[in-house]
Chains A and B, each alone.
Chain A
Amino acid sequence: MKIEKLLHKLNAFFDTDKYKKRQHIEDLKKILLKLKKKERKITHALQQTDDESLREHYQTELKIIRAQRIKGIEVLQQLKERKKTEYNLF
Chain B
Amino acid sequence: MHKALLLIVIPLLSYGFWLSDAFKGIAAGVSIFLFGMLSLEQGFKAFTGGVLERILQKTTDTSWKSFGFGFLSATLMQSSGLVSILTVSFLSAGLLDLVAGIGIIFGSNLGTTTGAWLIAGLGLKVNIATYAMPLLVFGVLCIFQKGKQLKGIGYILTGLGFLLLGIHYMKDSFEHFESTVNLANYAMPGVKGLLIYTAIGIIATIIMQSSHATMLLTITAVSVHQITYDNALALVIGANIGTTVTAIIASFGANIQGKRLAGSHLLINLFTGIFVLIFIKELGIAVDVISANLGIAASDNAMKLATFHSLFNLVGIIIFFPFINQQVMLLEKIFIEKRPNIFQPKYLGSSAMDFPETVVESVRLESIHLYENAIHIILRTFGLYKSDLQTDVSLKQLIEQNNAPIEYDIDASYEKRIKGIYSAIIAFISQAGFTWQMTQSSKLSWLREANKHLVEAIKDTKHLQKNWLRFRASSNQATINEYNKIAYQIALHIQKIENFRHEIESNELPLLSLDTLKATIRNDDVQMNRAIETLIRERKITPETGSSLINDSAYMRSIKKNLLKAAETLFLHSATGNVEQQLALNDTEINDVIQTVDAK
**Which residues of A does B touch, CB under 8 Å?**
24, 27-28, 31, 34-35, 38, 51, 53-54, 56-57, 59-61, 63-65, 67-68, 71-72, 75
Across the interface, which residues of A come within 8 angstroms of B386, CB to CB? none
Across the interface, which residues of A come within 8 angstroms of B396, CB to CB? 51, 53
**B326 interface residue per 8 A CB criterion:** no
- B interface bracket (residues with beta carbon within 8 Å of A): 20 to 34
User: Which stretch from B83-91, B140-148, B579-587 is at the chain A interface?
Assistant: B579-587
Q: Knowing that A34-B508, A56-B523, A75-B582 are A-B contacts, what are 6 other residue pairs whose CB atoms are under 8 Å apart, sorted by A's residue number?
A: A35-B509, A53-B396, A57-B492, A57-B520, A60-B594, A72-B583
Contact with A along B569-600 (1 / 0, CB 8 A): 00000000111101111000110111011001
Q: Which of B489, B492, B579, B597 contacts A27 (CB 8 A)?
A: B579
Distance in angstroms from B513 CB to nearest chain A CB is 8
**Which residues of B does A touch, CB under 8 Å?**
394, 396, 485, 488-489, 492, 496, 508-509, 512, 515-516, 519-520, 523-524, 527, 577-580, 582-585, 589-590, 592-594, 596-597, 600
Residue ID in chain B nearest A23 by CB atoms = B579
A60 x B516 contact (CB < 8 A): yes
B583 x A64 contact (CB < 8 A): no
Q: Which of A24, A28, A38, A60 contacts B597 (CB 8 A)?
A: A60
Distance in angstroms from A58 CB to nearest chain B CB is 9
Distance in angstroms from A56 CB to nearest chain B CB is 7
With A51-B394, A53-B396, A57-B492 as known contacts, state yes or no: A67 contacts B593, CB within 8 Å. Answer: yes
A63 x B580 contact (CB < 8 A): no
A64 x B508 contact (CB < 8 A): no
A64 x B590 contact (CB < 8 A): yes
B512 x A67 contact (CB < 8 A): no
Chain B CB count within 10 A is highest, among A27, A64, A71, for A64
B583 x A60 contact (CB < 8 A): no
For the complex of A and B, list the 3 residue pairs with the smallest distance between their C-beta atoms, beginning with the closest.
A61-B516, A27-B579, A64-B516
A31 x B519 contact (CB < 8 A): no
Can you report 15 residue pairs joining A to B where beta carbons are below 8 Å apart?
A: A34-B509, A54-B492, A57-B520, A60-B520, A60-B523, A60-B597, A63-B519, A64-B585, A64-B590, A64-B593, A65-B516, A67-B589, A71-B585, A72-B582, A72-B583
A31 x B520 contact (CB < 8 A): no
Q: Please measure, in the bound complex, the distance between the C-alpha atom of A24 and the C-alpha atom of B492, giving whole angstroms.
A: 35
A68 x B597 contact (CB < 8 A): no
B590 x A71 contact (CB < 8 A): no
B583 x A63 contact (CB < 8 A): no
Q: Please measure, in the bound complex, the distance between the C-alpha atom of A23 and the C-alpha atom of B325, giving whole angstroms.
A: 74
Distance in angstroms from A38 CB to nearest chain B CB is 7
Across the interface, which residues of A come within 8 angstroms of B512, CB to CB? 35, 64-65, 68
A63 x B582 contact (CB < 8 A): no
B508 x A63 contact (CB < 8 A): no
Q: Please measure, in the bound complex, the distance between the C-alpha atom of A64 and the C-alpha atom of B597, giving whole angstroms.
A: 10
Q: Please measure, in the bound complex, the distance between the C-alpha atom of A31 and the C-alpha atom of B597, giving whole angstroms.
A: 24
Across the interface, which residues of B come within 8 angstroms of A54, CB to CB? 492
A68 x B492 contact (CB < 8 A): no
Across the interface, which residues of A come within 8 angstroms of B394, CB to CB? 51
Residue ID in chain B nearest A42 by CB atoms = B516
B593 x A31 contact (CB < 8 A): no
Distance in angstroms from B82 CB to nearest chain A CB is 53
Across the interface, which residues of A come within 8 angstroms of B583, CB to CB? 31, 35, 68, 71-72, 75
Q: Please measure, in the bound complex, the distance between the C-alpha atom of A64 and the C-alpha atom of B590, giving whole angstroms.
A: 7
